[in-house]
Structure 1
Amino acid sequence: MGEKQPERVTVAEMSWPEVEAALRAGQATIILPLGATEQHGPHLPLGTDTRLATALAERVARRLGDALVAPPVPVGPSEEHTGFPGTVSIPRDTLTDLLREYVASFDAQGFERVVILPGHGGWFPVVDAAAPELSRTVEADVVAVTGLQRYMELLQEGLTAAGIDVDEPVVHAGASETAMLLALAPSLVSGPLPDGHTGPVSETTLFAEGIEAYDEDGVLGDARPATADAGEVLLEHVATAHAEYVREELDARDQAGES
């Protein structure tokens, strides 16, 4: 890692000769952002998770120095949000098959490292379950940036670093996601920012009755303190942590291969 990176890192914005040239120049890592199309309250668009996952993937790619960003998967498992118009929920088995085909395609094209980066909570258990099999079936190193609890901790750390005194044990359309979208695409954020459910959440109730059991607008958390400046701090904090995790994971695998 460390070759000079092309100006663009997003495959969907590149021509095939540009991707081919990047591979030949050593840009052999590809990052797959996993998003969703689901309600995010009355103030955020349904594509929030996809936009955030893609933005984080681009920042991670630039930190790694040898990476490109694949077209994101814009859907995921979103059963608890299907009571809201526009939400698309895909079964986990179908998503696992889709991941398998994505990774096989990258591997066949000569990418040596595939980084799977979920930006939607429902994707984390899917990726956790699929990653070992994916690693066994392709030559490329498959690195899954998983651990939903760790992701939520990173968001909380980012809020604290930005000077926002909000406790977000569960994240959905609250201060952290709203702040990041304000930093990326403020025109997509509608006001006024809502104060959603901030108490405990039972996963059993959430998945049995839907998120509206806790908030009729589908918001978990208080979005009101969110600012664009805080969103930039959050994006940088999470991207830095993700990039460091990928480096450490690949280094650990290299050491295992040498022993």
Structure 2
Amino acid sequence: MSSVKIENLDWVTYKSLTESGQCRIILPVGAIEQHGPHMSLNPDVLIPSHIGEKVAERSHNMLVAPAISYGYKSQVKSGGGNFFPGTTCVSGASLENYVFDVLQAYVNHGNREFILINGHFENSMHLCEAADRLVNKCKGEGISIKIYLLSYWDFISEETIEKVFPDGFTGWAVEHGGVLETSIMLKLHPELVDMSKAVDVEPATFPPYDVFPPDPSWVAPSGTLSSPLNSTPEKGEMILEECISGIVSHLN
């Protein structure tokens, strides 16, 4: 296979690889969202896209679809909130319908098995809804499909967390723009990270509820929910390898 990326294939090659349902299609789904002043807006797209490509390269009969870049609205307690300039989000209904339509198009091509790799926490339930709707629609039409939905961070073990955070892990809820994402980006795209702009902040603390409209004072002015200062490309490489190998072992 010359490329695992669908957009790099001509249509004749793509047809020959997929028309009998022999390929599994990976669809990365991310978001355009601020990740602090030290990092670009697109880690939630770049990270699952890279992981998808590496999973496909290590597997048989997998292709990676172009990523869906716009995700569900950033929430204060997981992404800093939807009020930061650059954070560009869509409604849950829009994301659900868009993912549904894209997957339906791939079903029409003959594909029958899909892997959604999520890179943005807030997307999760809307991806569940899109997958459930499509499976039921296809079942009613006599078509059997299977959709796996995963978030890459669920493949990071406690042992790796201890290595990445030797002084203690403050929890997934405040990792937005912190050490995990920054380390991965330092490994994948160091040109999109400027650690001289990184802001040292204490891990965010929140009340046990949400409020609408969101309150910007709940979030540090940097937009990050924890400090990225201890990020390194070596940590990023370790995290990525565990995620990629874990996904491959579960799906092959």
Superposed pair shares fold, TM > 0.5: yes
From the superposition, tell whether residues 219 and 115 of structure 1 become closer, same or farther in structure 2 (CA, over 3 Å): same
Shift of 1:102: 1.0
Judge conservation of contact 2:113–2:146 (CA < 8 Å) in 1.
Answer: yes
2:233 aligned with 1:231: no
SS at match of 1:239: helix
Instruction: Note the residue ranges of structure 1 that are not aligned, 5 or more in a row.
Output: 1-5, 248-259
The residue that corresponds to 1:78 in the other structure is 73
- Show the 5 A alignment for 1:167-246: 167-169=169-171, 170=173, 171-192=175-196, 193-202=198-207, 204-205=209-210, 208-209=213-214, 213-246=218-251
Residue 84 of structure 1 deviates from its aligned partner by 1.2
Alpha-carbon distance in structure 1 between the residues aligned to 2:24 and 2:154: 25
Deviations 1:160-198 (CA, angstroms, capped at 9, x unpaired): 345754514122110000000011010100122322341
Question: What displacement does 1:46 show?
Answer: 0.7
The counterpart of 1:23, out of the listed 18, 24, 43, is 18
Q: Where does the alignment leave 5 or more consecutive residues of structure 2 unmatched?
A: 76-80
| Larger RCO, structures 1/2 (Cα 8 Å, 6+ apart) | 2
TM-score (norm 1): 0.82
The change in CA–CA distance for 1:66 and 1:230 in structure 2 (over 3 A counts) is same
**8 A Cα contact 1:178 1:226, kept in partner:** yes
CA contact (8 A) 2:156 2:243 kept: yes
Partner AA of 2:251 in structure 1:
V
Q: Which amino acid is the alignment partner of residue 240 of structure 1? A: S
Q: 1:87 to 1:162 in 2, by over 3 A?
A: closer
Change (3 A) 1:243 1:137: farther
Residue identity in the other structure for 2:239 = L
- Aligned equivalents of 1:212, 1:118: Cα separation in 2: 28
- Root mean square deviation, CA, Å: 2.6
2 CA distance for matches of 1:79 and 1:225?
24
1:17 CA drift (Å): 2.7
Q: Secondary structure at the match of 2:63?
A: strand
1:63 aligns with: 58
Change (3 A) 1:66 1:158: farther
Moved more, 155-164 or 56-65: 155-164
TM value normalised by structure 2: 0.84
| Residue aligning to 2:30 | 35
Aligned pairs (5 A) from 1:25-174: 28-80=23-75, 81-138=81-138, 139=143, 140-145=145-150, 151=153, 154=156, 157-161=159-163, 164-169=166-171, 170=173, 171-174=175-178
Alpha-carbon spacing, 1:152–1:167, altered in 2? closer, same or farther (3 Å): farther
- Aligned partner of 1:151: which letter? W
Match of 2:78 in 1: none
Counterpart residue number, 1:3: none
Q: Is the 8 A contact 1:156 1:167 kept in 2?
A: no
Partner-residue secondary structure (3-state), 2:121 = coil
Q: How many residues align?
A: 239
* DSSP 3-state at the match of 1:117: strand
Percent of residue pairs bearing the same amino acid type: 24
Q: Residue 123 and residue 115 in structure 1: after superposition, are their counterparts in 2 closer, same or farther (change >3 A)?
A: same
Deviates more, 1:210-219 or 1:223-232: 210-219
